[in-house]
A and B are shown apart, each in its own frame.
Chain A
Amino acid sequence: MGLTNSSTGQALLKSTALVFSETSDFVVALAGNPNTGKSTVFNSLTGLKQHTGNWPGKTVALSAGEYCFADHSFSLIDLPGTYSLFADSQEEEIARDFLCFSQPDVTVIVVDATCLERNLHLALQILEITPSVVVCVNLLDEALRKGINIDLDKLAQNLGIRVVGTNARDGEGLDKLKEAILLTATEPAISPIHVRYPDSLEELILKSIASLPNTVFKEHQKRWLALRLLDSDYSLANKLQEYLSAANLVVKPILLSELQHQGLAGEFREPIVSSLYTTAEKIAKDVIKLDSKPHRRDHLFDQIITSKLYGIPLMLLFLGIVFWLTLVGANYPSQLLAKGFSWIEGQLLNFLTYLKSPEWIKGLFIFGIYRTLSWVIAVMLPPMAIFFPLFTLLEDWGYLPRIAFNLDNSFRLAGAHGKQSLTMCMGFGCNAAGVVACRIIDSPRERLIAILTNNFVPCNGRFPTLITMALLFFSGTSFLGSFGASLFLVLMIVGAVLVSLLVSKFLSKTVLQGLPSSFALELPPFRKPQVGRILIRSLIDRTLYVLIRAIVVAAPAGALIWIMANLGIGGRTFLELLSSFLHPLGYLMGLDGVILAAFLLGFPANEIVLPIIYMAYTSQGSLLELDSLTTTKTLLINNSWTNLTAFCFLLFSLNHFPCGTTLLTIKKETSSWRWTILSFFLPTILGVLSCLFIAQGIRLLTLLI
């Protein structure tokens, strides 16, 4: 807007300045529809020189990066992918505010060559805000394969701005794009296209322009503002008001209510969108030459993987392969890591002995903090490093939206969004990552439901517990026995998914009642996944993210566990005291005090619940793992475990408070203590009640029989 001193613009710029260097010559914004390969363009331009974070006060991811071209430095801001700029969602508001108030030198609009019309709709909207635009027509090769030929020169003529064609996946056309950006930064387009609205609306625009202050805005900006005010855009009106008072401008205030009073402002969205689309349609018709019927092959493929017959079985097959690869593939590296860490532990101990450090330092730092940390990393890292890239592979290929499409009906009945199936799948890897993944759900109500119920699906940290219990207590000795254990495991998982759906339904009928919801799911064409890039990005974005958060929570917990297990009063350790205090409740729930204490101490990471139980039963002062299943079973049975104990233990493991990492993430994603606290108590109460019910029911039955 040219509003350099705007408070809003300053705030936005300042916050984004935190992630990119202020020294660069030009600021470039990257805008576009979702699924246009916008992030590929971003990654190809900036390489690994990028920083990620969140938009200030929002849970929308913010990526910024730098690159150099022709002796100039450029800062690139990746705006959220949106279908329009009407600010109906957080993402749209962010994109609009950045374009409007932070005035990037150049805005690159990445458009998908395979569906130019809809992409041009956004481009036309952006052109109303700023003329410094480069249109980057991406996925040209994919369009060609579908028989879509785009005349780029004609498109440039039509739009009145610079247009570049790219295949960002192969790095094609990126130099030309950089050149066009530089040119546009120094000499913006002179006569960009101007969307003409119906005469009645144009008349109103003129009247509305008259109510705007004269000095600050350029002509085309006034036109856009007037249009937004006519469309009763309150959020923009408020931001403008804020800006005008911050800049101490003595101007006639823009009062939306005044416009409304004169009968000017109202609901003009339909004619506005219609005009934009009519213009986009006309341009698309002019520049596209169709060879054959597009989309045919994709639709045929889609018909198979979403069919009644194959849809669900194929999905189970794909997910089954992912889980199997994760479980099997993680075993060896996990053991290797554990061995490596225990070797380092030995060296550290030797070193401390050499320094003649007191025993408590060794205990607290080595047996407490170090051992817990290394435990969590060894158990957590390998499965995540396998699971997340595999999942990202399916995502990049384009299969994930089809899962959401296939399963949406069940989620619809539960008052939730089909994409929740995806966040649940992520939850199997890690609940914290699952909670972050809930960002893909664009309707606030369904996003909250997905966040609050993610913890009901067992994560990686709970899987070993489930498997151990299934093998120890719910299988025989024969081949049939191990089959029984697997079947039991599958039933537990299905049960967890059902509980998660039921709780979703409960939430949508109670606390989240009345909040609006929406479902419109794009099924983008299938694309060849970019394996190399996936590996790097999913390792950095998901695996490392989760790992770092886990480390932050696990380190202090390690110290606490050591203190609890080694210090005490009256000859009993704090752990023993806590266990005996919890024992009555534990007994009622079919468990015992030690198990409940282990769950409490295992708050930072579910991985350490079983090790804490072993530690307490063997009266050791630090976490330990047992050599074989037989010794484990003997130990548990000696501590009066029965099938009922094992079952209640499983039940409580599936339904209890989220781990510390997940809770932290929930707090960050919802920015509300209320939802964080609810997400703590909801599963806990459910777990306690169901354990009480089952344990007492079974005990009563055995009494009667």
Chain B
Amino acid sequence: MSLGETGVIAYVNSDCQLRHRLWDLGFTRGTHVAKLFRSPFGNPTAYLIRGCVIALRNEDAACINIYSSYPKRVF
């Protein structure tokens, strides 16, 4: 998924330490998530999920698997 794209979440890897927190924040199956912007050093990255902006480190975000993504203007 690249910046400005929106994707649909398939699942969160079961070995992900952040799994519970990600679910609590709404990163559940079938949810649309948009990749918004990166920090000046490229990591972490901000995502739009269920109307809120959440920043995740890239290695944590890699645990989230996406079904399909499509470009969509969110800003």
Contacts and interface: CB of A to CB of B under 8 A. Distances in A.
Interface of A: 83-84, 86, 88, 114-118, 121, 269-270, 273-274, 277, 293-296, 298-300, 302-303, 306-308, 311-312, 401, 405-410, 412, 418, 516-525
B36 A520 contact: no
Nearest to A146: B51
Contact of A519 (B37, B44, B46, B53): B44
Interface in B40-57: 40-44, 46, 48-57
A302 B53 CA distance: 10
Given A269-B23, A312-B40, A520 B60 contact: yes
Contacts of B42: 409
A403 to B, nearest CB: 10
Contacts of B25: 83, 118, 520
A405 B24 contact: no
Contacts, number: 132
Nearest to A148: B51
29 contacts: A83-B21, A83-B25, A84-B24, A115-B52, A116-B51, A118-B25, A269-B19, A270-B28, A273-B28, A274-B28, A277-B28, A295-B48, A295-B51, A299-B53, A302-B37, A303-B37, A306-B37, A306-B46, A307-B40, A311-B39, A405-B55, A406-B39, A409-B39, A409-B41, A409-B44, A519-B60, A520-B22, A521-B44, A522-B52
A521 to B, nearest CB: 4
Among A293, A299, A302, chain B packs the most CB atoms within 10 A around the CB of A299
Contacts of B52: 115, 118, 522, 524
Contact of A118 (B26, B29, B60): B26
A277 B36 CA distance: 22
Nearest to B43: A409
A300 B75 contact: yes
B4 to A, nearest CB: 10
A300 B38 CA distance: 13
B40 A86 contact: no
A84 B53 CA distance: 17
B20 A520 contact: no
Given A273-B28, A519-B60, A520-B25, 13 more contacts: A84-B24, A88-B20, A115-B52, A118-B26, A270-B29, A273-B23, A294-B51, A295-B48, A295-B51, A308-B40, A409-B43, A518-B21, A519-B57
A302 B43 contact: no
A250 B54 CA distance: 48
In the complex, the 6 A-B pairs of residues with the closest C-beta atoms, listed nearest first: A299-B75, A409-B41, A115-B51, A311-B40, A84-B24, A521-B55
Nearest to B23: A273
Contacts of B29: 270, 274
A308 B25 CA distance: 27
Nearest to A311: B40
Interface of B: 17-26, 28-29, 31, 36-44, 46, 48-57, 60, 74-75
Contacts of A115: 50-52
A522 B17 contact: no
A523 B75 contact: no
Contacts of A412: 43-44, 57
Contacts of A522: 52-55
Contacts of A524: 52-53
A520 B44 CA distance: 9
A88 B23 CA distance: 12
A293 B74 CA distance: 8
A523 B54 contact: yes
B49 to A, nearest CB: 8
Nearest to B51: A115
B23 to A, nearest CB: 4
A299 B22 contact: no
A270 B28 CA distance: 8
A293 to B, nearest CB: 8
B44 A418 contact: yes
Contacts of B22: 520
A518 B41 contact: no
A83 B24 contact: yes
A285 to B, nearest CB: 12
Given A303-B37, A405-B39, A409-B43, A520 B28 contact: no
Nearest to B45: A405
Contacts of A293: 74
B55 A523 contact: yes
A584 to B, nearest CB: 47
B54 A520 contact: yes
Contact of B36 (A86, A299, A408): A299
A118 B51 contact: yes
Contacts of B21: 83, 88, 518, 520
A114 B50 CA distance: 10
A523 B21 CA distance: 16
Contacts of A408: 39, 41, 43-44, 55, 57
B20 A306 contact: no
Contacts of A300: 75
Contacts of B38: 306
Nearest to A303: B37
Among B42, B46, B53, B57, chain A packs the most CB atoms within 10 A around the CB of B53
A121 B19 CA distance: 17
Given A118-B25, A270-B23, A277 B31 contact: yes
A405 B24 CA distance: 20
A88 B46 CA distance: 23
Contacts of B57: 408, 412, 519
Contacts of A306: 37-40, 46
Contacts of B26: 117-118, 121, 277
A86 B20 contact: yes
Among B19, B24, B75, chain A packs the most CB atoms within 10 A around the CB of B24
B14 to A, nearest CB: 8
Nearest to B49: A118
Contact of B17 (A406, A410, A518): A518
Contacts of B28: 270, 273-274, 277
Nearest to B38: A306
Contacts of A523: 46, 53-55
Contacts of B60: 518-520
Contacts of A296: 75
